[in-house]
Structure 1
């Protein structure tokens, strides 16, 4: 499907999650190869969520990428979980990607005893050089990273901050089978802010599943505001949104084509 509506991400719609994930991984891999041919290093940010699994599995298998010149960050982390807890996003990303490839560096968010200090230190690491790429998703409540509607700020002066998680966000973690019960999900987290994510040069946004369809439709059509944080993607000049048949709004069709 091809349209010319301004202020919308490029859309790629596929029949299933596997095709969607492979296409997103191919695009990310091609971008990495191109940039590594032109610059000494690439700095990129990854989301940790089951929605990213298909893309990360395929990216892990991509060839022709000099991962020793790629520095990785992740975009959020729970507070209150014990060190080494498998529910931590750092643990999830290590198992899904980081431990499988020879990255130049992997900067994990380790909240420790002073999460405000952790946030400031992580912001400083991010600010050392431009961020080239972000691989992200959209939450069921429209969040980007852990910028939920109650705490999202599209003009946030901070790059990384401590936030309270809303109930919809916490319930999604149970629905995604990351935690057994709602009560097990932490109430607070450290997150990169929306301006920090949008400061990257190119964004690859992977959003499968019927539970995300409303969030996707609002991201594409609702007024740009903190009430729907994912609408902020429409303010970035280079975002590609990868959908499967279940997450795609009715106006799109699964043909794999790119359009706005």
Structure 2
């Protein structure tokens, strides 16, 4: 099933198993098209358990990884680069080691000045166009780590130090990255909503029933910071990939 909500294309697939492959196919096609035209592709990729099927499917695709410059979307403040729960560690284990992208830019959440680190990373992002963004949606409808009521849709900055909502910190515990919520850092460095929307193409991959309420709000709530993911409806080339549980749609017969 395919339909549109404002500018956002929505695909609901019959089975969750095919969602990761569909995201990987769209990503592959986009990377190859950009590399064919410009010689390189600059991509932002989100992390998390929900993206593991996508990552596994990438292994079956023919991607010119040597021509890819890879950026991560967010990082915790205060954790060392080699901490097992950092987003950078996820990127290293699931993308860098198996695929060897040509250039990898990591956020340093343990930098002496998180603000200076955000400014450094923003400068890297702004050096050339961002071609592709692959991300998910949080259980509270955050994108990146831009939280409800705190996301600034008109933010002049592309990277900021942000405070994490309790719901987002609890999600990290639920996914098994931390033992208890007190272990989850209270701040992070994140690409902002305008930074994410600067991508020429956005692929949003959202499996699992725990995301169903966020998806319902994404598609039906007024566009605004109360539901950060509604910003995706304003983009010129964004696609949201769902399956019956995340979309809360009935499974086909």
TM range (shorter): over 0.9
1:11-65 deviation line (CA, Å, top 9, x unaligned): 22223332100111011111112222211111000001111111111113312x2
Cα contact 1:21–1:206 (8 A) shared by 2: yes
Instruction: Tell me the residue number matched to 1:100.
Output: 98
Segments of structure 2 that go 5 or more residues without pairing to the other structure are: none
| Pairs aligned (count) | 252
Instruction: Tell me the residue number matched to 1:206.
Output: 205
Instruction: Tell me the residue number matched to 1:172.
Output: 171
Instruction: Tell me the residue number matched to 1:53.
Output: 52
SS of corresponding position for 2:83: coil
Q: CA deviation at 1:253?
A: 6.2
Cα contact 1:13–1:254 (8 A) shared by 2: no
Question: Of residues 77, 80, 86 in structure 1, which corresponds to 2:78?
Answer: 80
Instruction: Tell me the residue number matched to 1:258.
Output: none
Distance in 1 (CA, whole Å) between partners of 2:87 and 2:15 is 25
SS of corresponding position for 1:247: helix
Q: CA RMSD in A?
A: 1.6
Q: CA deviation at 1:96?
A: 0.8
Question: Of residues 65, 68, 75 in structure 2, which corresponds to 1:67?
Answer: 65
Instruction: Tell me the residue number matched to 1:236.
Output: 235
**What pairs up with 1:1-260 in 2 under 5 angstroms?**
1-3=1-3, 5=4, 7-63=6-62, 65-111=63-109, 112-250=111-249
Q: Give the alignment's TM-score, normalised by structure 1.
A: 0.93
Distance in 1 (CA, whole Å) between partners of 2:47 and 2:15 is 20
- CA distance change for structure 1 residues 173 and 6 in 2, over 3 Å: closer, same or farther? closer
Q: CA deviation at 1:133?
A: 0.1
SS of corresponding position for 2:247: coil
Distance in 2 (CA, whole Å) between partners of 1:19 and 1:129 is 33
Q: Give the alignment's TM-score, normalised by structure 2.
A: 0.95
Q: Which has the higher contact order (CA 8 A, sep 6+)?
A: 1
Q: CA deviation at 1:6?
A: 5.1
Q: CA deviation at 1:80?
A: 1.6
Distance in 1 (CA, whole Å) between partners of 2:252 and 2:158 is 36
Distance in 2 (CA, whole Å) between partners of 1:60 and 1:205 is 19
Cα contact 2:81–2:89 (8 A) shared by 1: no
Distance in 2 (CA, whole Å) between partners of 1:220 and 1:95 is 33
Distance in 2 (CA, whole Å) between partners of 1:100 and 1:143 is 28
